[in-house]
């Protein structure tokens, strides 16, 4: 039985919409937790500081050692929730590509995980980013491919070609 679904994609690729749709179509209750939840949970003093997380004016995201420490604890905590019986959908942005996935693989260990790549053409994601108005312009284009470098998936969907609900149904069909 799948215990964790990890969806990885760049900013404005459509991950959050797919996650909401997954929660609606999957028969059991699933918690949705993501990198945005972690960022929102950190104190404002960690945003824009050397050791924390910084969002550059061009969309570049810089992660410092203090944020990495909290991120490691977050990953272990999500894994602990799944081990305790919660079914969890993780909405992630693997800024470090394969290394980011390896951190999750280590924490999730023996849990049954479905790894899903959320693809989206950089120009489409950039257009969504501008329309949203709540992201630093440039982040979507910078992240569109780098988050997938060296990452292995069980399944990939492309939100430039399919709507969120269609992607969610495709993913749900792979949940056992």
Q: Catalytic residue numbers? A: 36
* Separation of alpha carbons 168 and 24, rounded Å: 9
* Separation of alpha carbons 50 and 46, rounded Å: 8
Q: Which are the contacts of 42, defined by CB distance < 8 A and separation ≥ 6?
A: 52, 53, 67, 70
118 φ, ψ (degrees, to nearest 5): -105, 105
CA-atom Rg of the chain in angstroms: 15
From 153, 131, 113, select the one nearest 14 (Cα to Cα): 131
Label residues 46-77 b or e (16+ Cβ within 10 Å = b): beeeeebbbeeeebebeeeeebeebbeebbee
Beta carbons of 21 and 33 less than 8 angstroms apart: no
């Amino acid at each position: 039985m799948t215990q964790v679904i990890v969806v990885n994609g760049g900013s404005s690729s459509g991950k959050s919409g797919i996650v909401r749709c997954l929660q609606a179509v999957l028969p059991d209750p699933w918690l949705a937790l993501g990198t945005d939840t972690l960022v929102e949970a950190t104190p404002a003093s960690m945003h824009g500081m050397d050791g924390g997380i910084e969002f550059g004016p061009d969309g570049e995201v810089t992660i410092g050692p203090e944020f990495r420490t909290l991120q490691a604890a977050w990953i272990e905590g999500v894994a602990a929730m799944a081990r305790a019986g919660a079914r969890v959908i993780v909405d992630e942005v693997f800024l470090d590509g394969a290394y980011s996935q390896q951190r999750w693989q280590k924490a999730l260990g023996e849990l049954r995980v479905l790894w899903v790549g959320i693809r989206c053409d950089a120009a489409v994601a950039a257009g969504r980013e501008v329309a949203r108005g709540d992201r630093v312009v440039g982040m979507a284009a910078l992240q569109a491919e780098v988050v997938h470098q060296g990452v292995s998936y069980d399944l990939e969907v492309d939100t430039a070609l399919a709507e969120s609900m269609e992607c969610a149904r495709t993913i749900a069909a792979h949940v056992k």
